[in-house]
Structure 1
């Protein structure tokens, strides 16, 4: 299994509500809480992530 290459999302804010996003695995977008990098990872299809981002 490939490792995710997480970067801080542009949707994160200065108030501590930060997420990290990895898009280096084709067809998958992974999201995690930047304050808990060892915690759970939400895995979405690229299409589902695009719909989520569009709704924000």
Structure 2
């Protein structure tokens, strides 16, 4: 009886840790994607400014 309860608690903790890690990984990926999008936007703006300067020089 007691051993069974211990085992149940052990497996419960194990699954809990597993889901915690999954959630953590998920949030990490989300943050990474957000950073990547931010970098991409920054690069795009930089390219746009460069094109604009080139255009201005031609005129």
TM-score by length of 1: 0.23
- Structure exhibiting the larger radius of gyration computed from Cα positions: 2
**Structure with higher helix content:** 2
**Structure with higher strand content:** 1
Higher relative contact order (CA closer than 8 Å, sequence separation 6+): 1
